[in-house]
Amino acid sequence: MPLDSLRCDREVGPVEIMEFAGLIEQRRERLAELEQRISQPDFYNDQSSAAEVMREHRGLQKLMDLWQTYESTCKNLEENRELSKDEDQDIAAMASEEIPSLEEALPPLRERLQYSLLPQDPTEERNALVEIRAGAGGDEASLFAGEVMRMYERYADSCNWKCEHLESSPSEVGGFKEVVLKLSGEEVFRRMKYESGVHRVQRVPATETQGRIHTSTVTVAVMPEAQEVDIELKPDELHIQATRSGGPGGQHVNTTDSAVQVTHLPSGIQVKCQDGRSQGQNKEKALEILRSKLFEAKQHEEQEKYSAQRRALIGSGDRSEKIRTYNFPQSRVTDHRINHTSHNLEGILTGEVQEFTEELQKAEMAQRLAESGLKSD
């Protein structure tokens, strides 16, 4: 069936098939270009470049598979509509039975296809660094920071992502003043970008004797992993200092000068790492975090190009922007950007973050489709 011949009758279903032909052909041509590059004998000489190409190739292949499913479903629907008018009553009845399930399958397929055809932010396919800081609330805030960290660890596990601790600053009560995670895998930043902002918790602390509900906050910053080609760290703009590790963390942490503090002189940004077993490891981790922080600042400038509605959904990255409240007495979690409330507090804290991620993705997709003119009635 020709790409531009697909239609769905509004009288039978709510779906109006859009003209995808040109966009699909562009992506098909790009896929062919990438396959040509992959076939070159020196393709893997540059591992970083090869990884980016392979990631883009997988995304385009998924798009082509999705298009094939969409095209096949639409074709089956049209054929069954015709057969439902057949003079043979048995054939007509069988075809009529198939129509509702096909009509039900098309809208979500179309939504996925529309989103896949939108211009993508190249950082969405990257790994992510997640910085979690205890905010207002003292010890209670540090305890909640630890819970948020574990929530993301479990979410990463459910997504088959690798989770690595780059830096942490434990508190005296068993929580964290600050922790930085690196999440690696498929579509990490695309899913995690919505988590930036202030996470507020309302509950009765264990130390509260009169049963009063306290409000504490944790700030989360999600940064796409920066590569050396994104940000050049010039040696004369860095001040690197070895310091003695401190805070809870075991004998090794407290008895060596393995901690490294890196200061980026032009911006004043400081990063200190002490979780590694050597100065070399900590220096490498500190530079990785610094590079991502500088890249994040650069991305903020790009975000100014987004519409106000889209910025409200994906967040400005501002650590003062309240995005979500976790209310323990009511077992309720509310995302304030889309006014979505879940009463699955326990499940969310054990990693079931996808409930919010999916709703936020849908809201962002609807906004982007409307802005691009792709959205149908």
DSSP per-residue letters across 311-349: HHHH----TT-EEEEEETTTTEEEETTTTEEES-HHHHH
Instruction: For residue 154, give every residue at least 6 positions away whose Cβ sits within 8 Å of its Cβ, in sequence order, or none.
Output: 350, 351
362 part of a folded domain = yes
Domain boundary among 96, 117, 138: 117
230 part of a folded domain = no
161 part of a folded domain = yes
More confident residue, 347 or 174: 347
54 part of a folded domain = yes
169 and 286 co-located in one domain: no
Q: Report the C-alpha gap between 367 and 373 in whole angstroms.
A: 10
6-35 mean pLDDT: 66
375 part of a folded domain = no
160 and 217 co-located in one domain: yes
131 and 205 co-located in one domain: yes
pLDDT, residue 376, reads 44
Give me the CATH number covering residue 134: 3.30.70.1660
Predicted confidence (pLDDT) at residue 129 exceeds the cutoff of 50:
yes
286 and 324 co-located in one domain: no
133 part of a folded domain = yes
Predicted confidence (pLDDT) at residue 254 exceeds the cutoff of 50:
no
| Count: domains in the chain | 3
Buried b (16+ CB within 10 A) or exposed e, 289-304: bbbbbbbbeebeeeee
pLDDT, residue 289, reads 85
More confident residue, 138 or 345: 345
289-306 mean pLDDT: 73
318 and 175 co-located in one domain: yes
Domain boundary among 78, 101, 117: 117
Per the CB < 8 A criterion, the answer to whether 30 and 58 are in contact is no
pLDDT, residue 251, reads 41
**What range defines the domain where residue 274 resides?**
235-300
Predicted confidence (pLDDT) at residue 308 exceeds the cutoff of 60:
no
pLDDT digits (tens, 9 = 90+) for 88-101: 899 999 999 999 99
Q: Which of 125-139, 216-230, 233-247 has the highest average model confidence (pLDDT)?
A: 125-139
352 and 260 co-located in one domain: no
112 and 132 co-located in one domain: no
pLDDT, residue 64, reads 93
Predicted confidence (pLDDT) at residue 1 exceeds the cutoff of 80:
no
Instruction: For residue 226, give every residue at least 6 positions away whose Cβ sits within 8 Å of its Cβ, in sequence order, or none.
Output: 288, 291, 292, 294, 295
311 and 294 co-located in one domain: no
Question: For residue 65, what is the enclosing H or E element?
Answer: helix 47-83
Q: Is the pTM of this model over 0.85?
A: no
Q: Report the C-alpha gap between 130 and 128 in whole angstroms.
A: 6
User: Could you tell me the pLDDT band of residue 159, with boundaries at 50, 70 and 90?
Assistant: very high
Mean pLDDT of the chain, nearest integer: 81
185 and 257 co-located in one domain: no
pLDDT digits (tens, 9 = 90+) for 166-178: 888 888 888 899 9
Predicted confidence (pLDDT) at residue 298 exceeds the cutoff of 90:
no
377 part of a folded domain = no
Domain boundary among 268, 300, 332: 300
Q: Report the C-alpha gap between 11 and 92 in whole angstroms.
A: 18
129 and 28 co-located in one domain: no
Q: Output the CA torsion 36→41→45→46 (10° steps).
A: 0
Q: Report the C-alpha gap between 47 and 27 in whole angstroms.
A: 24
> Which residues on adjacent β-strands are paired with residue 240?
262
User: Could you tell me the pLDDT band of residue 259, with boundaries at 50, 70 and 90?
Assistant: confident
pLDDT, residue 4, reads 38
64-71 mean pLDDT: 92
7-27 mean pLDDT: 56
Q: Output the CA torsion 53→59→65→67 (10° steps).
A: -120
373 part of a folded domain = no
pLDDT, residue 104, reads 92
206 and 322 co-located in one domain: yes
pLDDT digits (tens, 9 = 90+) for 327-336: 999 999 999 9
139 and 286 co-located in one domain: no
Q: Report the C-alpha gap between 220 and 289 in whole angstroms.
A: 14
pLDDT digits (tens, 9 = 90+) for 98-114: 999 999 998 888 878 87
Give me the CATH number covering residue 263: 3.30.160.20
More confident residue, 116 or 191: 191
pLDDT, residue 346, reads 95
Q: Report the C-alpha gap between 182 and 129 in whole angstroms.
A: 5
